[in-house]
Structure 1
Amino acid sequence: MDVDKAEEFEELRPLLFSIAYRILGSVGEAEDAVQETWLRFDGSSTLPTSTKAFLSATVTRISIDVLRSARVRREEYVGPWLPEPLLSDPYQDPARSAELADSVSMAALLLLERLSPLERAVFVLREVFGFGFDEIADTVGRSEPACRQLVVRARRHMREGRPRFEADRQERRELATRFFDALKGGDVGGLRDLLTGDAQLVGDGGGKAPQLGKAVMGADNVARVLGTVFPLLLRIDVTMEPREVNGQPGAIFRDRDGRILHTMALDVLDARIQAVRVVINPDKLGHIGPVADAWAIDREVKRARRRAN
């Protein structure tokens, strides 16, 4: 192995993963795309003029191909589909940390799902990572004017999908603290006060774990479901660990043995919580750590509810 080549690649690995994850919304698929990028780089007999440009272009092309095939699987997915939760983005840029965090949020990734694979890739390269249109054109095999049009269309879709009400990170953290305190106490009224009127609760079990049949809509309904279920979880020794999930306030829930039951991410909009997104599909949690038996937890919760009644 060429040591210098490997060192160059490892320096750029955080950027490559971050590009691939934003295009794919999957930790596992992004890691595979990065690994395939390394194999192509290592197998190349010629050195590129710019290693960063070469590797970024390669991981983007691989990710576009993967996304095109993944879309068929997602159309057949059981229940709502959510991105795989990401606890920390390996690519850091202190000058743009808030922007990078917003671009990896569940809300942003779900909006990106509305774009074509090509639009998504071009948008990520330009709007998130600031690549020049000449680099993007070489990457996706389109002219610079065509890439500019792709970005314009993508921006429009993103704007139409989500109104922007800015809340600073400290406000988000304080709101999340109040939310989780109300959640632990089963305070339905307190939860309702923290939600937007059109708040939604979405769970992703993928048919492999207990899940909501469809999204729960409206502050009253969301508060009632959360305020009823989560105190029962705590009663059977499920613990809640506040963590940033996809750059936003959230938490990891673990069973009594410390295994991961699910993650929860909060979408904060205008000083209220607009969406609560729960990923419980075990296939999407294994990269975080050992995964709990969600079906066994569900049975315990039902027994706890019967005893409470």
Structure 2
Amino acid sequence: MAGRRKPPAPAGTAGREDVRERGPGVSKVEEFEELRPLLFSIAYRILGSVSEAEDAVQETWLRFDGSSARPVSTKAFLSAVVTRISIDVLRSARVRREKYVGPWFPEPLLGDPYQDPARSAELADSVSMAALLLLERLSPLERAVFLLREVFGFGFDEVAAAVERSEAACRQLLVRARRHMEAGRPRFEADRKEQRELATRFFEALRNGDVDGLQSLLAADVQLVGDGGGKAPQLARAVTGADKVARVLSTGLPLLFRIGVTFEPHEVNGRPGAVFRDRDGRVLYVMVLEVLGGRVLTVRGVNNPDKLGHLGPVADAWAVDREAKRARRRPR
């Protein structure tokens, strides 16, 4: 790999549907950088990991830079390469996930770099944690075919080339993938304004330790689930029910606030959420809400430090937990 150029870091966050027709002065780096947001978004949805998706995109660049031929469609070529790399990584990752401690959640994504107004609904729905967890039920090939066709709108000929299967085989894979997705797809609200308003009330009640206020915003069968991966404090099991979830949240989090933990609301995987930080500004925890019928249906939290490093320096969750327990024993 020595001597090969590494493309510069992306300058913006907005992707485009396709690269303009290549002119004689357009370099490989420029072509690649224009498609980087799309490539990352494909890889992230296949892998559920920001770090692994970034590695897949970088490996795609190395292969593109090392090839002497210029493809007719750079978009189709690079999308195929990053898809194949991601499928290979996913196959090995699934073996590791079988030994994962507790619930496994995708690495939280604070902003999807690829935007396409023509497919905004598909893109927003497919990046939610609920959708990514549902995609885990599919085989790697089914997952790739479903995403390329249903989410990113590639033609069957391009999908077939990307996964190295016939178009007929890809159509069968898509039918199976659709069946699995439709059978388990949760029906979450699409109105972002309503979600944001509900989230504002939720986090205000959370900040104030308002049990009744929290309970009024939760669905009767709400679930609170955490992913610590055995590397950070986490719930022994999911907490279910509005009363129990409200009490857990309003009891535990005010203790964290007493020792300097802060949070800022932030969209997480296209849903309302928040990033929690310790008193030194290091990332401690990411929370994301799923909303249905004007109520919070699921509260997911990620504090596995391996899944937070892309957001900045990571806090020592064990040390914060010990300090919070000491604060519980001290008078106010």
TM-score range, shorter chain: over 0.9
Instruction: Letter of the 2:185 partner, please give it.
Output: R
Which of 292, 298, 301 is the matching residue for 1:269? Answer: 292
The match for 1:143 is 166
Listed as ranges, the gaps of 5+ residues in structure 2 are: 6-24
The answer to whether 1:259 aligns with 2:282 is yes
1:169 aligns with 2:201: no
Q: Which residue of 1 aligns with 2:22?
A: none
Answering whether residue 321 of structure 2 is matched by residue 298 of structure 1, we say: yes
Q: Which residue of 2 aligns with 1:237?
A: 260
Report the Cα distance in structure 2 between the residues aligned to 1:160 and 1:271, rounded to whole angstroms. 23
Q: CA deviation at 1:3?
A: 7.0
Deviation of 1:71 (Å):
0.2
Q: What's the CA shift string for 1:9-44, capped at 9, x where partnerless? A: 111000000000000000000001001101111111
- The secondary structure found in structure 1 opposite 2:311 is coil
Give the stretch that moved more between structures: 28-37 or 153-162.
153-162
Query: 1:174, CA displacement in angstroms?
Result: 0.3
Q: What is the CA RMSD across the aligned residues, in angstroms?
A: 1.5
Q: Indicate conservation of the 8 Å contact 2:32/2:61, yes or no.
A: yes
**Whole-angstrom CA distance in 1 between matches of 2:102 and 2:157:** 40
Equivalent residues of 2:122, 2:150 under 8 A apart: no
State yes or no: 1:25 paired with 2:25: no
What is the match of residue 154 of structure 1? Answer: 177
Which residue of structure 2 aligns with residue 226 of structure 1?
Answer: 249
Provide structure 1 residue ranges, at least 5 long, that are not aligned to the other structure.
none
Secondary structure of the residue that 1:251 maps to in structure 2? strand
Bigger drift between 154-163 and 260-269 goes to: 154-163
Q: Report the number of matched residues.
A: 309
For 1:206, the equivalent position in structure 2 comes to 229
Paired-residue identity, %: 80
* Residues 191-250 of structure 1: CA deviation (Å, up to 9, x unaligned): 122112221111111111111122112222211111111111111111110000111100
CA contact (8 A) 2:130 2:186 kept: no
- TM-score under structure 2 normalisation? 0.90
The 1-side partners of 2:309 and 2:125 are apart by 24
Larger deviation: 163-172 or 230-239? 163-172
| Residue of structure 1 equivalent to 2:153 | 130
Alpha carbons 2:110, 2:267 under 8 Å: kept: yes
Q: Which amino acid aligns with 2:171?
A: R
The corresponding residue for 1:64 is 87
Match in the other structure for 2:239: 216
Identify the residue that residue 15 of structure 1 maps to in structure 2. Answer: 38
Residue 140 of structure 2: which of 111, 117, 133 is its match? Answer: 117
Contact 1:167-1:270 within 8 A present in 2 as well: no
Query: How big is the shift at 1:166?
Result: 3.0
Counterpart CA distance in 1 for 2:189 and 2:305 is 33
Pair 1:75-2:98 in alignment: yes
Q: Which has the higher helix share?
A: 1
Q: Partners in 2 of 1:261 and 1:203 — Cα distance?
A: 13
Deviations 1:106-151 (A, max 9, x none): 1111111111111111111011100111110111122212212211
Of 111, 120, 125, which residue of structure 2 is paired with 1:88?
Answer: 111
- On the 8 A contact 1:208/1:281 being kept in 2, the answer is yes
Please give the TM-score of this superposition, normalised by the length of structure 1: 0.96
CA 65–190 in structure 1, closer or farther in 2 if over 3 Å, else same: same
Q: Cα gap change, 1:229/1:308 in structure 2, threshold over 3 Å: closer, same or farther? A: farther
Contact kept in structure 1, 2:188 and 2:290, CA below 8 Å = no
* Contact 1:200–1:275 under 8 Å retained in 2: yes
SS in 1 for 2:27: helix
Q: 2:109, 2:269 within 8 Å by CA — same for their partners in 1?
A: yes
